[in-house]
Structure 1
Amino acid sequence: MTRPVAVGLDGSPAALVAADWGAREALCRELPLRLVYAWEWQPYTYAPLAGTDAPRPWSERVPREAAAELRNRYPGLEITADHLTGPPPEVLCEVATEAELLALGTAGFGALAGFFLGSVAMSAVAHTEQPVVLVRAETTAADEYLPATDGRPPTAMAYRPVVLGLDLSRPCDEVIRFAFETTALRAAPLRVIRGWKPPAYFLYGVTGEPSLRDDLAEQETEGLRTVLLPWREKYPGIDVTEHCVMGEPAHFLADAGADAGLVIIGRRSRRSWAGPPRTGHIAHAVLHHCPAPVAVIPHD
């Protein structure tokens, strides 16, 4: 069974932008697109003007109308539109289990304030066992490509780099595989960013020797190269650059997103941990401040 690219709709402009992104991603991966609206009945505190059933017909139109628009825009794409009943977080998590990835839209507040991620999006990111991509409301198709300066036609435009944030303490194959496969589909360059923090004794003044800091940086860089070596050999056509930077990883990943077509990060699924699933502080910061679409990949 072919697994589609799924998109969660809620009738907002941000969700429609995510649907357009999902359509392009489905074409890139040669997969069908599935649009889903999760409707949950809510009790009224007052009588609506159009009757108690008015919200449901509206919600049923949302996926149909989005599908019709995308079929006109992408005539070769197979699209299905579903209207499902149930709590949106639960419905979307169930939809994601049958999909290659799930795309959701997020609203923007601006460069300084960051982006608004609603409870449904955050719940899907935290609980879904498939990749979830958060797409900004301001994202356009042109944002995926490098600016053309030589008169190239749109079909010859080059994709912006894909950025992978990698934690060397848990360099999980699921995250790296998704990054290399996605980059290969786009024929784009891949930038791998490893943010590292110095040992605790750096905080207590033992930093007088510049060679010590250089040695630590070289160790981190060599560790990153070692982890990526088998993937470079498996995907020899990808232009990969490594960046080992000392500091908070989320800061560098958010900055890198300004010139990226997609930023990829991992999230521990915590299957064996007690307590509710969490996104982690790095993923949380990147999701709220990175201007590019962000793919969150769950891993053990």
Structure 2
Amino acid sequence: MPRLVTVGVDGAPESRAAAVRAAREASLREVPLRLVHVIDWPISTAVPRLDRETAGRWADEALAETLGDVRRRHPHLEITTRRLSGRPAGALAVEAADADLLVLGSRGLGGLKGFLVGAVGTATLIATETPVALVRAADEPENTGPAPYGEIAVGVDIHEAPDRVLAFAFEEAARHSYVLRAIHGWALPPAYRFFPFLDSDGEREAARKAAQMLADLLLPWRHRFPAVSVSQTAFMGSASSQLVRVAAGADLLVIGRHLRGSPLGAHLGPVAHAVLHHAAVPVAVIAHG
């Protein structure tokens, strides 16, 4: 089955930035690009006098404007458009099912550097198994040449099966000729603080083991992608805060997605939630296998 890159389009600056990145990714992958606009139907009564015909006209205008912009930048790229009605998260998840990547735009969090991931974005991240890249308007340069950045940071959970996360990160690094920085945060067991005889030697041994486990996970991927320059960092502390800090100098942060259950349904795990609200760079969210 042919692969493609899918992007959600709604006419906002963040959605145009998402389309720019999606087009660049589709071009590098040599696959088609699909622009999707989903009319949230039935439309909320909070939007007076907005009927199906008017909503459809707005959707067509957003798609046409984005299509024209992308075609000017990538005249040889195969592009299709789709206008759908329904619940956006579910529709986007379905449209992303045959895609290599789903790209979504997101607003910034006011004075903070992170993403404002609303109900639709969060629900889409939960609903799809396809990698999702989140970008803001400020993340995408206006030039159409090669991407100017040179480093990907990837958060690695050594206690999970991170193959899908590492596959995406290494493939992106190879595709763009990026340097890849693998990051793992570890913590001592909570009982450690109750045993004063466990001194700094214990911490050093735990640090050594964490670094070795990370190196062991990376080794087969280093062999598979020998041209990718890889560094690794294992640190003791909060995974989310350290990921945000270490990735500040990168141009893409790749993280895994854990789902947590609750009486109100599934939701993102604490690390992904914190990273999305504080990361200053574009973020790719990958569902763990």
TM-score by length of 1: 0.87
SS at match of 2:53: coil
Query: In structure 1, what is the equivalent of residue 69 of structure 2?
Result: 69
CA contact (8 A) 1:129 1:298 kept: yes
Aligned-pair Cα RMSD in Å: 2.6
Query: In structure 1, what is the equivalent of residue 194 of structure 2?
Result: 204
Distance 1:139 1:213 in 2: 39
User: Counterparts of 1:70-149 in structure 2 under 5 Å?
Assistant: 70-110=70-110, 112=112, 114-141=114-141
Query: In structure 2, what is the equivalent of residue 296 of structure 1?
Result: 285
Structure 2 residue aligned with 1:177, among 167, 178, 181? 167
Query: In structure 2, what is the equivalent of residue 267 of structure 1?
Result: 257
SS at match of 2:17: helix
Distance 1:206 1:192 in 2: 32
Query: In structure 1, what is the equivalent of residue 153 of structure 2?
Result: 163
Q: Once superposed, which parts of structure 1, at least 4 consecutive aligned residues long, lie more than 6 Å away? A: none
CA contact (8 A) 1:134 1:293 kept: yes
Percent of matched pairs sharing the same residue: 36
| Cα deviations by residue, 1:74-133 (Å, 9 ceiling, x for unpaired) | 212111111112111111010010211101011012453733111110001011111111
Distance 1:46 1:6 in 2: 28
| Cα deviations by residue, 1:200-252 (Å, 9 ceiling, x for unpaired) | 23333637732221111111101111111111111111111010011111111
Distance 2:249 2:165 in 1: 21
For this pair of structures, how many residues does the alignment match?
A: 288
Give unmatched runs, 5+ long, in structure 2.
none
SS at match of 2:99: coil
Query: In structure 2, what is the equivalent of residue 237 of structure 1?
Result: 227
Q: 1:74 to 1:176 in 2, by over 3 A?
A: same
Q: 1:270 to 1:118 in 2, by over 3 A?
A: closer
Q: 1:204 to 1:90 in 2, by over 3 A?
A: same
Distance 2:119 2:197 in 1: 44
SS at match of 1:19: helix
CA contact (8 A) 1:21 1:141 kept: no
Q: 1:270 to 1:173 in 2, by over 3 A?
A: farther
Distance 1:158 1:133 in 2: 18
- Counterpart amino acid of residue 83 in structure 2: H
Distance 1:142 1:281 in 2: 34
